[in-house]
Amino acid sequence: MSALTLGTVMQGGDVGSVGAIDPRKLNRHTFWCGQSGSGKTYSLGVLLEQILLHTSLPLLILDPNADYVHLGTPREGADAAEASALAGLDIRVRSAGGRSGSDPLRVRYAEMVALARAAVLRLEPLRDAAEYHAALEVLAESTQAPNRATLVTALLESDDPARQLLGLRLDNLGILDWDVWAWQNRSAEDELDDRPDAVVLDLSACAQVEEPAAVSLAVLDHLWRQREQRRPITIVIDEAHNVCPASPDTPLQRALVDRVIQIAAEGRKYGLWLVLSTQRPNKIHPQVLTQCDNLGLLRMNSPADLAEVASVFGFAPRDLLDASPSFAQGQVLLAGGFAAEPAVVQMRDRICLEGGADVAVPLSPRNPSARLREPT
């Protein structure tokens, strides 16, 4: 068994030794957390690269900021052997709108479970019982893209009040016009069924605010329906507070949170393993957070957030948690099942290009004598 080498131990263990984790323990859910500027996204990329290099565990990455769209594209100066190995993997990127030359991001509305289809329409099964029933009748049968104008007109002219209301809803919300619906085209679910090394779903260019949640729900529903096949996969959810918020307030959010809770509680035995990354632990639904057995904690200044982490992850030494505000960028406290002992590790360099980076402050060239020195 080959450990995943992530960097160099800085505190809590044999200082200067290799910081590594046991890949066999990735069959537990992992929580990855750090405030803005701590190196959370970069360090998570290091972890994902090592998983791809040293395991046969496929990845599904829900990527809201296009941070991982270049996973598999080596950066200049990377180790040649590692770069070649990553470049040879089957890593597929689907982007909303087909940006950056990637395949367009689409999912199948008709294959979503009934509750999920209704949630996309902002329908509740009891509060909107008649309209909910009408929606399932009208929209469930076909995998072909409906003619929006024809369908809406037919519904508005129906003698059934529930169908009239559904017609108004479809017309007002414009949901049938969303670009993320596959209808008869190839979908993200098809990519997952092929079982490549990684599927990156770039959600950053979704035109409608609810499209990322709809895509996330569709692919998670798809994996859950196939759970009895027991084909392991790691589901990486970046900015996880958007996918499983502590207080969901729309039918779509509630349906998505319920599915993530189900995967967190029951998915391990089926090979559905989560990696959740966020800046704020208290924004994650507690029934998801408390199911995580592995912890990667970067710099965090908020006492309330550190108290939350301490209360959930009792296996993390308090002295190392308390040191978190002083962590340098890219230093991660690794604790839990995948770490032989808790330790703060300075993460190694990335092999692949980063998809996103901080925007630099533009400095004026008008007064050269007043130029700021680069921080060291």
For tokens 């016009």, what's the residue?
177
Residue 147: band (very low, low, confident or very high) from pLDDT cuts 50, 70, 90 = confident
Could you report the per-residue pLDDT of 22-39, keeping only the tens digit for each?
Answer: 999 999 999 999 999 999
Could you report the per-residue pLDDT of 130-142, keeping only the tens digit for each?
Answer: 999 998 888 765 5
Number of domains within the chain: 2
If we measure between CA atoms, which residue out of 269, 263, 272 comes closest to residue 243? Answer: 263
Which of 55-69, 222-236, 320-334, 354-368 bottoms out in mean pLDDT, i.e. has the lowest? 354-368
Q: What is the pLDDT of residue 78?
A: 93
The verdict on 340 and 262 lying in the same domain is yes
Q: Taking residues 58-84, what's their average pLDDT?
A: 95
Structure tokens at 93: 């990127």
The verdict on 173 and 201 lying in the same domain is no
Structure tokens at 174: 């414009």
The verdict on 293 and 206 lying in the same domain is yes
Q: What does pLDDT average to over the chain?
A: 91
Transcribe 197-239 into DSSP letters.
Answer: SEEEEE-TT-SSTTHHHHHHHHHHHHHHHTGGG---EEEEETT
Q: Taking residues 225-230, what's their average pLDDT?
A: 96
The verdict on 102 and 119 lying in the same domain is no
Percent of the chain scored above 90 by pLDDT? Answer: 77
Specify if 41 maps to a domain: yes
Could you report the per-residue pLDDT of 293-347, keeping only the tens digit for each?
Answer: 999 999 999 999 999 999 999 999 999 999 999 999 999 999 999 999 999 999 9
What does pTM read for this prediction? Answer: 0.91
Q: What is the pLDDT of residue 101?
A: 66
The verdict on 135 and 241 lying in the same domain is no
The verdict on 224 and 334 lying in the same domain is yes
Q: What is the pLDDT of residue 376?
A: 41
Across 34-96, the runs of DSSP E, i.e. the strands, are 59-63, 91-95
The verdict on 124 and 162 lying in the same domain is yes
The type of residue at 292 is C
Q: Which domain holds residue 137?
A: 114-177
Residue 366: band (very low, low, confident or very high) from pLDDT cuts 50, 70, 90 = low
Specify if 331 maps to a domain: yes
The verdict on 259 and 328 lying in the same domain is yes
Domain boundary among 130, 155, 177: 177
If we measure between CA atoms, which residue out of 340, 336, 204 comes closest to residue 275? Answer: 336
Which of 31-45, 63-77, 142-156, 284-298 bottoms out in mean pLDDT, i.e. has the lowest? 142-156
29 Cβ contact list (under 8 Å, min separation 6): 264, 268, 273, 274, 275, 276, 291, 292, 293, 294
Give yes or no for residue 58 having a pLDDT over 60. yes
The verdict on 216 and 246 lying in the same domain is yes
Specify if 360 maps to a domain: no
Confirm if 298 and 280 have CB atoms less than 8 A apart: no
- What whole-number distance in Å separates Cα of residue 125 and Cα of residue 191? 31
Specify if 287 maps to a domain: yes
Q: What is the pLDDT of residue 119?
A: 93
Phi, psi of 257 (to 5 degrees): -60, -45
| Residue of higher predicted confidence among 351 and 152 | 351
Give yes or no for residue 143 having a pLDDT over 60. no
Q: What is the pLDDT of residue 308?
A: 93
The verdict on 275 and 337 lying in the same domain is yes
Q: What is the pLDDT of residue 110?
A: 83
- What whole-number distance in Å separates Cα of residue 220 and Cα of residue 200? 14
Domain boundary among 177, 208, 223: 177
